[in-house]
Amino acid sequence: MKITCIGAARTVTGSCYHIQTKDANILVDCGAFQGAKDIEKRNEEPFPFHASKIQYLVLTHAHIDHSGLIPKLAKDGFKGKILATSATVDLCGVMLLDSAHIHERDAEWENKRRLRAGKPPVKPLYTVQEAANSLAYFQGVVYNKIIDLGNGIRVRFQDAGHILGSAIVEIWVKDDTHEKKLIFSGDLGQKNLPLIKDSTPIDEGDFVFIESTYGNRKHKGMTETIDEFAQAVSESLKSGGNVIIPAFAVGRTQDILYILNKLSREGKLNHLRVFVDSPMAMQATRITLKHPECLDKETLELVKTGQFPGSTLTLKFTESVEDSMAINRIKSSAIIISSSGMCDAGRIRHHLKHNLWRPECSVIFVGYQAEDTLGRRIVEGVKEVRILGAEIAVNARIYTIGGLSAHADRDELLDWLGKFKKKPQRVFVMHGEEETALGFAETIRNQLNMEAYVPRGMEEIQLL
Ligand SMILES: [Zn+2]
Ligand SMILES: [Zn+2]
């Protein structure tokens, strides 16, 4: 059996593996590369396989760095099935269309520029219609059940505790006479994340492909993080302005809602007026409530008794542009959650424009801010920013809450790997910046005495 590590090899994004045996042609994930322009250029390169020959795509979760090239796969002739948990199928229905929308918009911008320069137009990576077409190949599966795909392949999805619907995938591959078990960790969640169940420990397998996003870092505990967040919100509200929270629509927004709800129920924060201003966040919240199989016990109880997402706090989702603009007329005590999480697109920019210059307001950052984003510049303390064509002074109080990561840290990754009863033949360290992945492989060798290897992009590996 042969496996090609197409993406997320010595880098974080572009997760995609191609497994080949005499009879089987399977992909695990089909993710887009994300980040700087030259990295995203790789999304336009042709796939290193024939899309029409792939029988199954096994998808770990809905994040675009794992799912974002699915519409391109379908466009290139894929006719197989895409297996994912039901929640992932629902989330992809929203996220792939949104991704297509961004590609269309980017192409439109680029073409305006090209037209002026007398150059021929470009096509988007895929269109909204092409993304919609690709959804027909999805098939929802349940957790914790072995599914026989034929051609010597069986798979099982287990909780990964990362985002709604996220899964660790176990794949048994039979080539000729012998069978090997491969484990793809997908993205592993931090323990005790709000809402969703923690990751499932796996105790046997021959080859493990583990993520290493935070393979060199230690997070603060969840309790400490929630306290820090409560403190920030409470201080902010006392100043008499609004509180702006930039957050990704899928995952982080629901986490924040959960935490605000908890703090309000416990009486630690009172009379909260929360606005979630993002149509996608509204859809993602609806999908979250539709999938009790993904939720942890505490959340399930709250949903059953009508205490989540609303009840003790006032909660309003806004969909239309008019409703969104109406929020801008509120001058004090509103908590506004909007996307994008790094402030470089979406409605959040309007809220920053209206509140960032007011010293009585605050902005609470709850997620990673990549280089060259508006969010990063604000976090780094610039005094003035340009938003929607206007110069805006940064007078609001800025908070950064670091502990809400959806990824396990170094110790949690080691803990998960340490659950194997018998050492796997080899551990492949994936989905991390090169230095982090190499460092984490070293940690695995030293602390767990396992054989660990960091593949390069497009590296072909024989698994015997
Ligand atoms: Zn992810
Ligand atoms: Zn990922």
pLDDT for position 371:
78
Confidence of residue 169 (pLDDT cuts 50, 70, 90): very high
State the residue range of the domain holding 41. Answer: 2-217+406-462
pLDDT band for position 458 (50/70/90)?
very high
Same domain, 205 and 235: no
Instruction: Output the CA 336–ligand 2 centroid distance in Å.
Output: 27
**Residue 75 CA to ligand 2 centre (angstroms):** 23
| 437 confidence band (pLDDT: 50, 70, 90) | very high
Q: Residue 390: what pLDDT?
A: 95
> If pLDDT is split at 50, 70 and 90, which confidence band does 427 have?
very high
Same domain, 204 and 145: yes
Which residue type occupies 449?
N
| 62-75 confidence digits (pLDDT tens) | 999 999 999 999 99
264 and 321 share one domain:
yes
Ligand 1 centroid–CA 175 distance in Å is: 30
Q: Residue 268: phi, psi to the nearest 5?
A: -80, -25
Output the CA 248–ligand 1 centroid distance in Å: 12
Q: What is the whole-number distance in angstroms between the Cα of residue 432 and the centre of ligand 2?
A: 9
Q: How many Å lie between the centroid of ligand 2 and the Cα of residue 210?
A: 11
Using the predicted structure, report yes or no on whether residue 148 has a pLDDT greater than 90: yes
Collapsing DSSP states into helix, strand and coil, what is residue 95? helix
Give pLDDT, residue 60. Answer: 98
Question: With contact defined as beta carbons under 8 Å apart, do 31 and 50 qualify?
Answer: no
Interval 107-122 mean pLDDT: 95
Q: Where is the domain boundary, 400, 415, 438? A: 400
Using CB atoms within 10 A of its CB, is residue 316 exposed (0-12), middle (13-18) or buried (19+)? middle
Q: CA-based angle 388:350:313, to the nearest 5?
A: 165
Pick from 346, 372, 400: which residue ends a domain? 400
The reported pLDDT for the residue numbered 367 is: 87
> Which residues, 6+ apart, have CB-to-CB distance to 250 below 8 Å?
62, 91, 94, 95, 163, 164, 280, 281, 284
CA of 129 to the centre of ligand 2 (A): 25
How far, in Å, from the CA of 78 to the mean position of ligand 1? 24
Tell whether 162 and 210 lie within a shared domain.
yes
Q: How far is the CA of 262 from the centre of ligand 1 (A)?
A: 25
Q: Mean of the pLDDT values across residues 369-392?
A: 93
DSSP 195: S
- Of 69 and 39, which is predicted with more confidence? 69
| pLDDT at residue 79, as a whole number | 98
Average per-residue pLDDT for the chain: 95
| Residue 152: per-residue pLDDT | 96
- Report the separation in Å between the CA atom of 308 and the middle of ligand 1, taken as the mean of its atom positions: 24
Alpha-carbon distance values, 195 to 107, 143, 163, 318, 336 (Å)? 37, 17, 9, 22, 20
Question: What's the pLDDT at 176?
Answer: 82
Question: In terms of domains, do 227 and 209 share one?
Answer: no
pLDDT above 90 as % of the chain: 91
- Mean pLDDT confidence for 295-301: 95
Same domain, residue pair 120 and 200: yes
Q: For residues 327-349, give the mean pLDDT.
A: 93
Q: State whether 152 and 257 are in the same domain.
A: no
Residue range 198-225: average pLDDT?
Answer: 95
- The pLDDT, as a whole number, for residue 57 is 98
* Statement to judge: residues 281 and 349 lie in one domain: yes
Number of domains making up the chain = 2
| Chain CA centroid to CA 385, Å | 27
Segment 393-402 mean pLDDT? 95
The alpha carbon of 186 and the centre of ligand 2 are apart by a number of angstroms equal to 7
Ligand 2 centroid–CA 188 distance in Å is 9
Percent pLDDT > 70 in the chain is: 100
Among 365, 400, 435, residue at a domain's last position = 400
> Beta 2-7 vs 459-462: how paired, if at all?
antiparallel
| Over residues 170-175, mean pLDDT | 96
Domain identity same for 322 and 434: no
DSSP for residue 29: -
Quote the CA–CA distance of 282 and 327 in Å, as a whole number.
Answer: 16
The DSSP code for 35 is: S
Q: Is it the case that residue 311 has pLDDT exceeding 80?
A: no
Mean pLDDT of 210-239: 94
Q: Is the pLDDT of residue 204 over 90?
A: yes
CA–centroid distance, residue 98 to ligand 2 (Å): 17
Stretch 276-286: mean pLDDT: 94
Q: How far is the CA of 214 from the centre of ligand 1 (A)?
A: 12
Quote the pLDDT of residue 368: 81
Q: Which ligand approaches the C-alpha of residue 88 most closely? A: 1
Q: What is the mean pLDDT of residues 347-360?
A: 96
Residue 213 shares a structural domain with residue 226: no
Nearest by Cα to 143 from 93, 197, 212: 197
The mean pLDDT of 93-111, rounded to a whole number, is 95
Distance 49 CA to ligand 2 centre (A): 22
What integer pLDDT is reported at residue 225 of this predicted model?
94
Q: What pLDDT, on the 0 to 100 scale, is given for residue 344?
A: 85
- Alpha-carbon dihedral angle through residues 268, 271, 276, 281, given to the nearest 10 degrees: 50
Q: Name all contacts of 150-153 with Cβ < 8 Å and 24+ positions apart.
A: 151/21, 151/23, 151/24, 151/55, 152/21, 152/23, 152/24, 152/179, 153/21, 153/24, 153/26, 153/56
Ligand closest to Cα of 212 equals: 2
**How many A from CA of 13 to the centre of ligand 2?**
6
Using CA atoms, how far apart are residues 301 and 297, in angstroms rounded to an integer?
6
Distance 434 CA to ligand 2 centre (A): 15
Task: Report the CATH number at residue 131.
Answer: 3.60.15.10
What is the C-alpha end-to-end distance of the chain, expressed in Å? 7
Cα dihedral across residues 114, 115, 119, 123: positive or negative: positive
Alpha helices in 271-427 (DSSP H): 279-289, 297-304, 321-327, 348-355, 374-379, 410-417
Q: Are residues 22 and 143 in the same domain?
A: yes
Check whether 111 has a pLDDT greater than 90.
yes
3-state class percentages of the chain: helix first, strand second, coil last, to nearest 5: 35, 25, 45
**212 alpha carbon to ligand 2 midpoint, in Å?**
10
User: What whole-number distance in Å separates Cα of residue 279 and Cα of residue 149?
Assistant: 37
- Ligand whose nearest atom lies closest to the CA of 165: 1
Ligand 1 centroid to residue 282 C-alpha, Å: 20
Ligand nearest the Cα of residue 62 is 1
Q: Are residues 18 and 161 in the same domain?
A: yes
pLDDT of residue 376: 92
pLDDT given at position 246: 97
Check if the beta carbon of residue 142 is closer than 8 Å to that of residue 86: yes
DSSP class of residue 189 equals P
Residue 369 has pLDDT above 90, yes or no: no
pLDDT at 116: 96
Q: Quote the distance between the C-alpha of residue 322 and its chain's center.
A: 29
CATH number at residue 340: 3.40.50.10890
| CA–centroid distance, residue 376 to ligand 2 (Å) | 20
